[in-house]
Structure 1
Amino acid sequence: MSGKPKLHYCNARGRMESIRWLLAAAGVEFEECFLETKDDLAKLRTDGSLLFQQVPVEEIDGMQMGQTRVIANSIAAKYNLYGKDLKERALIDMYVEGIIDLNELLMTYLFQPADKKEQHLATSLDKATNRYLPVYEKVLKDHGQDFLVGNCFSRADVQLLEVLLTAEEFKPDILAKFPLLQSFKARISNIPTIKKFLQPGSQRKPPLQEKDLPRLMQIFH
């Protein structure tokens, strides 16, 4: 199997969005095969394409690769977004794990019961403001470079920008007290591959809406 990577997922952000971001940041064109119905998912399961019976799955370099973190790590390693040595890779992994934790809080908001949505969002934004964002503000301050690790663009920068923009969708002024993150956002957004991905018409997916839930539930449940 050769050519462009092919991503198997629904036409929504979910757990595939960070993979789209990484490929786009690396300047890699990719194809998407969208799951539209429960039968589409069942077909992948029955033909042996899903090792763990779940998506995301990426077809790349003759492999069908599952597990979101594994896919992202392989992309980062292949396209020089994973630091120059073991120490830098460990820092990138650590920063990314925190980003994933924050992203999970924001991403699961719409899936909460109706009477718990407001509290979930309030808790998520509180943790963003008081637990997660201060960490990355401090990292940038202490490191004193344009990027989170070393002085080279990495997976950590890509995924931090992704979650910053997501957080701003929920609270537009969430970066008000974080000047270094504001500068970081502007700087990373202007990297040519990222800038292209942020333009209308790219393969970046829009925020999930309440009206999208029945379609997704039909596929995955």
Structure 2
Amino acid sequence: MAAKPKLYYFKGRGRMESIRWLLAAAGVEFEEEFLETREQYEKMQKDGHLLFGQVPLVEIDGMMLTQTRAILSYLAAKYNLYGKDLKERVRIDMYADGTQDLMMMIAVAPFKTPKEKEESYDLILSRAKTRYFPVFEKILKDHGEAFLVGNQLSWADIQLLEAILMVEELSAPVLSDFPLLQVGCCWAWTPHSGRWSWSKACSNNRLEAELRT
């Protein structure tokens, strides 16, 4: 039996969170080791595991992988979340990179001064409602499927949901003008199996929302 992927990161969301989401959506169990002391971090550097001196680090398939984008690409390909051909893959990359831009705005905001933080949150909500969410709403409408690319779940869907939930933490009704994105958030976490699932009803609800627009 193959060993579970092992994730090394500080105790918090950060850059590891998207990796956790992707593994959870794929139904893959994983282990985590939180870096809580300088000694842990220095040992990983000394052992040569941190290629560029930084985490996240994922141990999987006999490899020690660093760099978030590379890790996500590998996991998406490994667990069939990266499209069926190059054309689908490049669209998945475009959509994932777009949501990442929005997510990074949110990630750095807490480290600013109170005044700058408030301004950043206002800008994030504005950008989400005028730049990012309208794009994905249109993609879903034009595509006519329950997913952003092709007819099955991909990394792009997973990262979009993560981005939406991050923005909703700032303003719960942010999706009020985006009916297809609203019904897109129909994930169900099943505690006993530790899996994310996409319900059939979600696809039907999205179709109904499209017909109403």
Alignment of 1:25-174 (within 5 A): 25-174=25-174
**4+ runs deviating over 6 angstroms:** none
Distance (Å, rounded) in 1 between the aligned partners of 2:197 and 2:83 = 22
The amino acid of 1:109's aligned partner reads A
Does structure 1 residue 9 correspond to structure 2 residue 9? yes
The superposition leaves residues 50-87 of structure 1 with CA deviations (integer Å, 9 ceiling, x where unpaired) of 01100001000110000000000000000000000000
Structure 2 SS opposite 1:93: helix
Distance 2:149 2:58 in 1: 27
Give how far 1:13 is off: 0.5
The runs of 5 or more residues in structure 1 that have no matched partner are 197-221
The Cα of 1:38 is off from its aligned counterpart by: 2.5
Root mean square deviation of aligned Cα: 1.4
How many residues align? The count is 193
1:184 is aligned to 184
Residue 196 (structure 2) aligns with = 194
3-state SS of paired residue (1:151) = coil
Matched residues, percent identical?
Answer: 54
Tell me the amino acid that sits aligned with residue 122 of structure 2. Answer: A
Q: Within 2, Cα distance between the matches of 1:140 and 1:161?
A: 13
CA deviation profile, 1:159-196 (whole Å, cap 9, x unmatched): 1111111111111000011000001112xx13762259
The separation in 1 between residues aligned to 2:113 and 2:77, in whole angstroms, is 39
Higher RCO (C-alpha 8 Å, min separation 6):
1
TM (norm. structure 1) is 0.84
In structure 1, distance between residues paired with 2:147 and 2:125: 24
1:115 partner SS: helix
Q: Partners in 2 of 1:77 and 1:38 — Cα distance?
A: 33
- Distance of aligned partners of 1:33 and 1:93 in 2 relative to their CA distance in 1, 3 Å threshold: same
Structure 2 Cα separation of the partners of residues 172 and 179 of structure 1 = 14
- Inter-CA distance 82–191: structure 2 relative to 1 (3 Å threshold): farther
Distance 1:93 1:47 in 2: 32
Deviations 1:102-131 (A, max 9, x none): 110111111112331111111111111110
Deviation at residue 11 of structure 1 after TM alignment: 1.4
Give the aligned partner of residue 210 of structure 2: none
More strand by share: 2
Question: In the TM superposition, what is the alpha-carbon distance from 1:43 to its structure 2 partner?
Answer: 1.8
